[in-house]
Structure 1
């Protein structure tokens, strides 16, 4: 099975950890590394501002500051340890062809993919892909979406499921990209026994990947082999979510800490 990984160049978890994981069970034929420009990042901010409005956008900014100064240091230390675990478990990747671009839909990406001849591409990008990109791999482009679809599509699905107290919908969706936002065929759901009282939403997002690597690898083999069948989601509600809000984060954590003693008492 030939694979390509598309990810952001500055994301060590993807660039080093997931690349090594992919190379452990497939022929990793290429890496597409996205180096976004400042204008691209500002455009994403403008889209979120337009989506939620100025007052709610302040809530988004407050969450960004809160995370940076209260949570990021602990999460970064934890991520460093997990990345070390991945590198110890899998061999470091070397000699794999790389393409560095600012846009996931640049013409050179299509040419690079055609030369790699992948069966699958794993897309870990904040940018939506065009048809000319996601149709190149023989069996499509897969997303390990942090959220259960169709209920928690778009951004930060794990956060919003926790904030909504929809705890049965905290997890990861393996889906194939189509023209919509997380609307493609779904090939699996994955979760783990998360600790919502003590884990941040960012840590939950990464652990739904880390704790299911073996199952995800097998599912990808099944897709290429033609034995995997999409899950029927007809009739289920569909929701498009966005960036986390500090107000909802604080409300979630209060609810989680209240629920934790009750769960211990019940045991």
Structure 2
């Protein structure tokens, strides 16, 4: 079967490529450009308002950068423990596209005619793209769906004192936001050394094994599915600086 990696320019994309390519041969790797910061801001302000977006920006531009610097030792420990390979994807393997929903992306998918499309960190994929080829689109989501859709699933689970649902989901992609049928889920073990920036590495490490198993099952002609660990559904956004400080000081969630 032909397998394509359709991904964004995120830190987890090389991890996924390097892990899966040990056993899976990718027919192509399609990498989309980032959404412009201006466009992202407009969307967020329209949806959440100026106050929330300001608080999110302060947290992301100041605190997240600081957390990354102070957590590098722990990140390296996770990378080593799970044998995660951070090397860049060879440039000759990559086809760059403006967006997953661009006509050039659709044309490339039609040309390749993949059987499986592994998605990571892209825009919401349009119905037009999903119906372009009769492929199975699957995604790794760093959260337990449908309860922790959106972003920072493990962080919000811990904030909610729901540690048993701090984890990762492999799911089929539909037209919603992380609403596709669940293939497999697993939880992470959080230590006192972990925080907002290390949770995703733990989730990705757990999710890679699940993703590989899912791909192998689909190649065999199976359609693996699993019941979700949660019954509720909620879409989460980035925390603001005020939320993060409150959750850190009052709930000890870093």
In 2, the alpha carbon distance for the partners of 1:136 and 1:8 equals 20
Aligned match of 1:215? 210
In 1, the alpha carbon distance for the partners of 2:90 and 2:55 equals 42
In 2, the alpha carbon distance for the partners of 1:55 and 1:94 equals 41
- TM-score, normalised to structure 2, is 0.84
* Structure 1 contact 99–109 (Cα < 8 Å) conserved: no
Question: Cα distance, 1:32 vs. partner?
Answer: 0.8
Residue 140 of structure 1 pairs with residue 146 of structure 2: no
Matches within 5 A, 1:233-252: 236-252=231-247
* Structure 2 contact 170–207 (Cα < 8 Å) conserved: no
Cα 1:192–1:37 shift into 2, 3 Å: closer
Deviations 1:210-229 (A, max 9, x none): 13423331122113324344
In 1, the alpha carbon distance for the partners of 2:92 and 2:134 equals 20
In 1, the alpha carbon distance for the partners of 2:155 and 2:164 equals 13
* Structure 1 contact 156–241 (Cα < 8 Å) conserved: yes
Deviations 1:146-173 (A, max 9, x none): 1111111122222221222221211111
Aligned match of 2:174? 178
Cα 1:97–1:132 shift into 2, 3 Å: farther
Question: Cα distance, 1:52 vs. partner?
Answer: 2.1
Where 1:61 maps in the other structure, the secondary structure is helix
Cα 1:159–1:101 shift into 2, 3 Å: same
Alignment match of 2:34 (pick from 5, 26, 36)? 36
In 1, the alpha carbon distance for the partners of 2:137 and 2:72 equals 29
In 2, the alpha carbon distance for the partners of 1:212 and 1:142 equals 12
* Structure 2 contact 182–226 (Cα < 8 Å) conserved: yes
In 1, the alpha carbon distance for the partners of 2:98 and 2:74 equals 29
Residue 18 of structure 1 pairs with residue 13 of structure 2: no
- TM-score, normalised to structure 1, is 0.81
* Structure 2 residue runs without a partner (length 5+): none
Deviations 1:81-130 (A, max 9, x none): 72894349xx9865864221221111111221223232211211241111
Aligned match of 1:227? 222
Matches within 5 A, 1:1-267: 1-9=1-9, 11-14=10-13, 16-36=14-34, 38=36, 41-75=37-71, 79=75, 82=79, 85-87=83-85, 94=90, 97-136=93-132, 138-195=134-191, 197-232=192-227, 236-254=231-249, 257=252
In 2, the alpha carbon distance for the partners of 1:245 and 1:139 equals 38
Where 2:197 maps in the other structure, the secondary structure is helix
* Structure 1 residue runs without a partner (length 5+): 259-267
In 1, the alpha carbon distance for the partners of 2:35 and 2:206 equals 32
Question: Cα distance, 1:135 vs. partner?
Answer: 3.6
* Structure 1 contact 104–129 (Cα < 8 Å) conserved: yes
Question: Cα distance, 1:186 vs. partner?
Answer: 0.9
In 1, the alpha carbon distance for the partners of 2:93 and 2:53 equals 40
* Alignment RMSD (CA, Å): 3.0
